[in-house]
Amino acid sequence: MTKLIATDMDGTFLRGDMTYDKLQFRNIHERMMAAEIKFVVASGNQYYQLQSFFRIILILYIWQKTVLIFVL
CA distances from 72 to 16, 36, 54 (A): 29, 10, 14
Catalytic residues: 8
Task: Note the Cα 51 to chain centre separation in Å.
Answer: 9
